[in-house]
A and B are shown apart, each in its own frame.
Chain A
Amino acid sequence: MSKQYLQTHTIPLAHPTDIFSLAVTPSQLLSASGSSSLRIHSTKGQIIHADTPDDEHPYPLVQTLEKVHPLGCHHICTSLDGRTAATAGFSGELKVWQCSEDGQWTAVGEINPAEKQAGEHWALALSENGQYLAATTHDGRINVYDTRSIAPEGTAHKFTQYETKGSFGMSVDLSSNGSMTASGHQNGGIYIFNNTTQRLAHSLAGLIKPVRSVKFSPACRYLAAAGDARIIALYDTQSGEQIANLTGHGSWIMSLDWNWSGEYLLSGGYDGKVKIWSLERRECVATQTESEKCLWSVRWLPKAASARNETFVTGGAGKTLAFYREASGT
Chain B
Amino acid sequence: MSILLDAIRTGQLISKRDIYYIEPEFFRAQYIVNNIIDDLACTIGVNRGALNVEAAGKGLVAGNFRLIRESQVVLDAQSPTEDTLIPRLKNGDEIDISRIRWVMVIEKEAVFHRLARSAYHIRATGGEGILVTGKGYPDLSTRAFLRKLYDVASTRPTPLRFYALTDGDPHGMAIMSTYKYGSVAQLHENARLSLPRLQWLGLRVSDIVAVPDEFGDKALCPLTKRDRNKILAMLQNSPVWASDGPEPQWRVELQRMLMLNFKAEIEVLYEHTGGLEGWIDRRMFRQE
Chain A residues close to B by CB (< 8 Å): 16-18, 20, 34-36, 70-72, 74, 90-91, 118-119, 138, 168, 170, 186, 210, 228, 230, 250-252, 270-271, 294, 296, 317
Of B212, B225, B229, the contact of A251 (CB 8 Å cutoff): B212
**Is there a chain A Cβ closer than 8 Å to B258's Cβ?**
yes
| Contact between chains at B259 and A20 (CB < 8 Å) | yes
Which residues from A are CB-within-8-Å of B259? 20, 74, 296
Contact (Cβ within 8 A) A18 B229: no
The secondary-structure label for the interface of chain B is: helix
7 contacts between A and B (CB under 8 A): A34-B251, A186-B222, A228-B212, A230-B212, A270-B212, A271-B210, A296-B259
The residue of chain B having its C-beta at the shortest distance from the C-beta of A73 within the complex is B255
Chain B's closest residue to A139 (CB) is B225
Closest B residue, CB atoms, query A91? B232
Question: Contact between A72 and B255 (Cβ–Cβ < 8 Å)?
Answer: yes
Shortest beta-carbon distance from A40 to chain B in Å: 20
Instruction: Kindly list chain A residues whose C-beta atoms are within 8 Å of the C-beta of B245.
Output: none
Please state if B209 and A270 are interface contacts (CB–CB under 8 Å): yes
Q: Mark B189-232, 1 if CB is under 8 A from A, else 0.
A: 00000000000000000100110100000000010010011001
Give A90 to B236 CA distance when docked, in angstroms.
10
Chain B, 237-259, contact with A by CB distance < 8 Å: what is the 0/1 string? 00000010000100110011011
Contacts of B256 in A (CB 8 A): 18, 294, 317
Does B15 sit at the interface, judged by CB under 8 A? no
Contact among B206, B222, B225, B235 for A71, CB-based, below 8 A: B235
Given known contacts A34-B252, A186-B261, A252 and B236 CB-to-CB distance under 8 angstroms? no
Q: How far is the CB of A196 from chain B (nearest CB, A)?
A: 32
Complex CA distance for A311 and B115, rounded to whole angstroms: 52
Q: Are B209 and A17 in contact (CB under 8 A)?
A: no
Rounded to whole Å, the gap between the CB of B254 and the closest CB of chain A is 9
Chain B residues positioned under 8 Å from A250 (CB to CB): 212
Contacts of A186 in B (CB 8 A): 222, 261
Query: Does A17 lie within 8 Å of B248, measured CB to CB?
Result: yes
Contact A35 B243 (CB under 8 A): yes
Bound-state CA distance A91–B231 (Å) is 10
A317 CA / B260 CA spacing, docked (Å): 13
Are B261 and A210 in contact (CB-based, < 8 A)?
yes
Interface string of B82-102 (1 = CB under 8 A from A): 000000000000000000000
Contact status B232-A170, CB under 8 Å: no
Q: Establish whether residues B251 and A118, one from each chain, have CB atoms under 8 Å apart when the complex forms.
A: no
Chain B residues, CB < 8 A from A17 = 243, 248, 251-252, 255
A119 CB contacts on chain B under 8 angstroms? 228-229, 232, 258
Q: Please determine whether B255 and A118 come into contact, CB atoms closer than 8 angstroms.
A: no
Q: List chain B residues, Cβ under 8 A from A35.
A: 243
Closest residue of chain A to B212, judged by CB? A251
* Cβ A118 vs Cβ B229 within 8 A: yes
Residues of B within 8 A of A138 (CB): 225, 228
Q: Indicate if the CB atoms of B261 and A252 lie closer than 8 Å.
A: no
Q: How far is the CB of B70 from chain A (nearest CB, A)?
A: 52
For the complex of A and B, 6 pairs with smallest distance between CB atoms: A34-B255, A71-B235, A17-B252, A119-B232, A34-B252, A18-B252
The answer to whether B210 touches A170, judged by C-beta atoms less than 8 angstroms apart, is no
Chain B residues with Cβ under 8 A from A90's Cβ?
A: 232, 235, 255, 258
| A271 to B211 CA separation, bound complex (whole angstroms) | 9
Residue numbers in A under 8 Å from B206 (CB-CB): 294
In the complex, are the beta carbons of A71 and B232 less than 8 A apart? yes
| Residues of chain B lying within 8 A (CB to CB) of residue A74 | 255, 258-259
Bound complex: CA A70 to CA B235 (Å): 9
> Are A18 and B255 touching (Cβ within 8 A)?
yes
When C-beta atoms are compared, the residue in chain A nearest to B256 turns out to be A18
Smallest Cβ-Cβ distance to B224: which chain A residue: A138
The CA-CA distance from A296 to B235 in the complex, in Å, is 20
| A252 to B222 CA separation, bound complex (whole angstroms) | 15
